Amino acid sequence: MKSKRYFNTTGFCMPERHYMIDPLRNQKIIFDLIEKTQYFTIHAPRQTGKTTLLHELAHRLNKEGNYISVVFSVESAGYRSITEEIANKKIINSLYSSSGQYLNKKNCPIPPEKYTKDLTLENYLIDWAISQTKPIVLLLDEIDSLYDDVLVSVLRQLRNGFQIRPKRFPSTVALVGLRDVREYKLKVRPSEASLGSGSPFNIKAKSILLGTWTKEEITELYNQHTKDTGQVFTKEVINRIYELTGGQPWLVNAIANEIVVEILNEDYTKKITLAHAEEAKENLIKRRDTHLDSLLDKLKEPRVKNIVSAIINGDSLVYDNFNDDLLYVMDLGIIRKEKYDIIFSNEIYREIIPRVLNFSMQENIREEGTTSWYIKPNGKLDMDKLLKAFQEFYRENSEMWLERFDYKEAGPHLLLMAFLQRIINGGGKINREMAVGTGRTDLLIEFNGERFVLELKLKRLPSARQKGLDQISRYLDTLGMTKGYLILFEIKPSSIIPWETRVKWEDISHQNKEITIVEM
Instruction: Read off the pLDDT of residues 330-349 as tens digits, 9 standing for 90 and up.
Output: 888 899 988 878 899 999 99
375 vs 385: CA distance, rounded Å: 9
Lowest mean pLDDT across 58-62, 313-317, 465-469, 516-520? 313-317
425 vs 413: CA distance, rounded Å: 18
Question: Is 60 exceeded by the pLDDT of residue 193?
Answer: no
Angle between helices 383-404 and 411-424 (to 10 degrees): 130
Task: Establish how many alpha carbons lie within 13 A of residue 374's alpha carbon, considering only the half-sphere containing its beta carbon.
Answer: 26
Q: What is the share, in percent, of the chain residues with pLDDT greater than 70?
A: 94
477 vs 494: CA distance, rounded Å: 35
Instruction: Read off the pLDDT of residues 28-85 as tens digits, 9 standing for 90 and up.
Output: 999 999 999 999 999 888 788 898 999 999 999 999 999 999 999 999 999 989 999 9
E strand residue ranges, 84-160: 136-141
Instruction: Read off the pLDDT of residues 453-489 as tens digits, 9 standing for 90 and up.
Output: 999 999 988 899 999 999 999 999 999 999 999 999 9
For residue 14, what are the contacts with CB-CB under 8 A and spacing of at least 6?
20
Report the pLDDT value the prediction gives residue 199, as an integer from 0 to 100. Answer: 47
CATH number 2.40.50.140 given to 27-209:
no
Question: Is 60 exceeded by the pLDDT of residue 319?
Answer: no
410 vs 310: CA distance, rounded Å: 8
Sequence length of the chain is 520
258 vs 348: CA distance, rounded Å: 14
Cis (ω within 30 of 0) for the bond into 166?
yes
In whole numbers, what is the pLDDT of the chain averaged over residues? 89
3-state secondary structure of 315: coil
Report the pLDDT value the prediction gives residue 49, as an integer from 0 to 100. Answer: 87
- Domain locations in the chain as residue ranges: 27-209, 215-287, 360-519
317 vs 438: CA distance, rounded Å: 11
More confident: 289 or 449: 449
Report the pLDDT value the prediction gives residue 192, as an integer from 0 to 100. Answer: 41
pLDDT-based confidence at 197, cuts 50/70/90?
very low
Q: Backbone dihedral region of 229: left (phi > 0), alpha (psi from -120 to 50 degrees) or beta?
A: alpha
3-state secondary structure of 441: strand
Cα–Cα distances in angstroms (integers) from residue 301 to residues 305, 308, 358, 404, in the given order: 6, 10, 17, 17
Report the pLDDT value the prediction gives residue 428, as an integer from 0 to 100. Answer: 85
Question: Is 90 exceeded by the pLDDT of residue 195?
Answer: no
For the beta carbon of residue 383, count every other beta carbon within 10 angstroms. Answer: 19
Question: Is 60 exceeded by the pLDDT of residue 437?
Answer: yes
Report the pLDDT value the prediction gives residue 4, as an integer from 0 to 100. Answer: 84
Instruction: Assess contact for 512 and 483: CB atoms under 8 A.
Output: no
Report the pLDDT value the prediction gives residue 258, as an integer from 0 to 100. Answer: 98
Instruction: Read off the pLDDT of residues 132-181 as tens digits, 9 standing for 90 and up.
Output: 999 999 999 999 889 888 998 999 999 999 999 999 999 999 999 877 66
Question: Is 70 exceeded by the pLDDT of residue 191?
Answer: no
The alpha-helical segments, DSSP class H, found in 376-502 are 383-404, 411-424, 464-479, 499-502
Lowest mean pLDDT across 176-180, 230-234, 277-281? 176-180
Instruction: Read off the pLDDT of residues 438-448 as tens digits, 9 standing for 90 and up.
Output: 878 899 999 99
Report the pLDDT value the prediction gives residue 188, as an integer from 0 to 100. Answer: 54
pLDDT-based confidence at 426, cuts 50/70/90?
low
3-state secondary structure of 136: strand
pLDDT-based confidence at 186, cuts 50/70/90?
low
pLDDT-based confidence at 316, cuts 50/70/90?
confident
What does the buried/exposed string (b/e) look like for 471-483 if buried means 16 or more CB atoms within 10 Å of the residue's CB? bbbebbeeeeeee
Lowest mean pLDDT across 109-123, 180-194, 202-216, 391-405? 180-194
Strand pairing category for 204-209 and 39-43: parallel
156 vs 200: CA distance, rounded Å: 9
Question: Is 90 exceeded by the pLDDT of residue 403?
Answer: no
